[in-house]
A and B are shown apart, each in its own frame.
Chain A
Amino acid sequence: MTESIIKIENVHKHFGQVHALRDVSMEVRSGEVVVILGPSGSGKSTLLRCINHLEIHDSGEVEVDGIQLKSARDINAVRREVGMVFQSFNLFGHLTVMNNLTLAQWVVRKRPKDESIEIAKQLLEKVGISEKADRYPSELSGGQQQRVAIARALAMNPKIMLFDEPTSALDPEMIKEVLDVMLALAHEGMTMVVVSHEMGFARAAADRCIFMDEGQIVEEAPPETLFSHPEKERTRVFLSKVLQA
């Protein structure tokens, strides 16, 4: 077994009165694809956001690529290694697609201009939207925007990619184009943590599925096992609702 690249131990997180994460522990090995599912408010997005410190956990340990999240310097060091894709894309509206991809390469990685453009071009080709390089995000469809967002994250050469419900803001016909990109990424061996209810994606790509409810990990198993033989009643109830839909 390869080394764990993400270690989360006994993490708690409160939002005011809400206990969003209750003593959550999990590990992700290098190259593994983990899909987290659960009802809304179950803490799955919060858990994901704790990995790159968009949320600061109250107690417990979060270690990414051997770096404990403590000081601001550590946080930025971790964030450079962790790409994140959001539900609402969050492309930079004032920049072209090309500049969305080159900005952080230039600002954070200090890459020369030519190199960052070259990398951006390759990635845009990979996600299948080379021809939109000079367009602005508002001129793209949701699916195209999300593929740009994935390319933007990849341009930083992350070791880990986090996906926070990447397809839930998309029209049905655009979901596939985004999932295809994610699937290709999984096959390349990228370490991925995905919050999503896309069962098809989980079946095709996930090594492991984690079911969360009320801030806790209820159970985890390979997708086929979890979907067809869930151990816990809560998991069964949730899956029956999702699979029906």
Chain B
Amino acid sequence: MTPTGRPFGPGRKEKQSAPADGDFFPIGEGVGDPHDVPVGYKLDPWWWLLVAVAGLIIFLIIWRPDPYWDILVFVKDGLLVTIILTVCSFVLILVVGLLGGLGRIAKNRLVYMAASLYVEIVRGIPLLVQLIWWYFAAPVVIQAIGGALNIAPLAEYRANAIFLAIIGLVICYGAYMAEIFRAGIQSIHKGQMEAARSLGMNYFQAMRYVILPQAFKVVLPPVGNEFIMLLKDTSLVSVVAVADLTRRGREFMAVHFNPIEVWTLVALLYLVLTLLAARLIARLERDRGVRGAS
């Protein structure tokens, strides 16, 4: 750490007098007290673990191109599916989680009950069972409804594995995310809402410009945690016909019968992804001045 640099966070000078649109809710711009924001972007030691794991993969590929290079070439589209699945699901999970979280603190009894019921039910069923239900049971339900109501597109519905996997992941993780957002919003002192409301803002303006930007900083660590868990849990979709990294690994193994090499490489590939995600999250936390960010 150097003593020079930005005592009040990045870009504070330009920010000082520009309340233009977006200035108040740029995902927690300058959130919170700026004293503890470390100076500069020094890569923390954990980056070396990432480099070491990546290096190990490269070493294996060069050392034994057969089978490691062959495995990598075979599973690379699965790797892409895993990444796309994770990112797409996560964006939707944030939306569902925010709506669910707002529902869980809603004064309207009906909205509150609906959100609470959703959280309780979804939390109580294993993700694997949910994914299987969406892939095997949901299409049959849709077809039956379509048949009963004489709606041809529904009656002839064919399961789309990736689409249903995303639905399953979003609905399950959305429930956990809703609880994280609820806790984050509730952690902001109620005086903040009162102050915003007494300035004439309506509920949604107060949420958007006052509560959520401050809650963002609070929820960032658990939200980052969810992202990493999601990245790993996408491996469950391999049982519902999605050709993700895990499934592609199993397919390779079924032909070549080399479990040690296949699952070692698959494990290392997941590890590289999660370590990278963890570093990016840590950096985001540090930018936002979250305490204890490494």
Contact = CB atoms under 8 A, between A and B. Distances in A.
Pair from one complex: yes
B273 to A, nearest CB: 32
A113 B23 CA distance: 11
B16 A96 contact: yes
A96 B34 CA distance: 11
Contacts of A38: none
Interface in B193-225: 194-202, 205, 209-210, 213-214, 217
Contact of A117 (B8, B19, B201, B210): B19
Contacts of B24: 95, 99, 103, 106-107
A33 B24 CA distance: 35
A54 B32 contact: no
Contact of B189 (A90, A95, A116, A149): A90
Interface string B166-202: 0000000000000000000000010110111111111
Contact of A79 (B18, B28, B197, B209): B197
B34 A54 contact: no
B194 to A, nearest CB: 6
B6 interface: no
Contact of B17 (A79, A84, A107, A117): A117
Nearest to B195: A90
Given A90-B189, A92-B192, A94-B31, A104 B12 contact: no
B233 interface: no
Contacts of A88: 189, 191
Contacts of A54: 194, 197-198
Contacts, number: 104
Interface in B238-278: none
A237 interface: no
Interface residues of A, number: 39
B19 A116 contact: yes
A172 interface: no
Contacts of A139: 33-34
A91 B30 CA distance: 15
B32 A93 contact: yes
Nearest to A72: B202
27 contacts: A80-B200, A82-B198, A84-B194, A88-B189, A88-B191, A90-B192, A91-B195, A92-B195, A93-B33, A93-B214, A94-B29, A94-B30, A94-B214, A96-B16, A98-B19, A99-B19, A99-B24, A103-B19, A104-B200, A107-B201, A107-B209, A108-B201, A113-B19, A133-B16, A134-B12, A136-B33, A139-B33
Interface of A: 52, 54, 72, 76, 79-80, 82-84, 86, 88, 90-96, 98-99, 102-104, 106-109, 113, 116-117, 133-134, 136, 138-139, 149, 152-153, 156
Interface of B: 8, 12, 15-20, 23-24, 28-35, 189, 191-192, 194-202, 205, 209-210, 213-214, 217
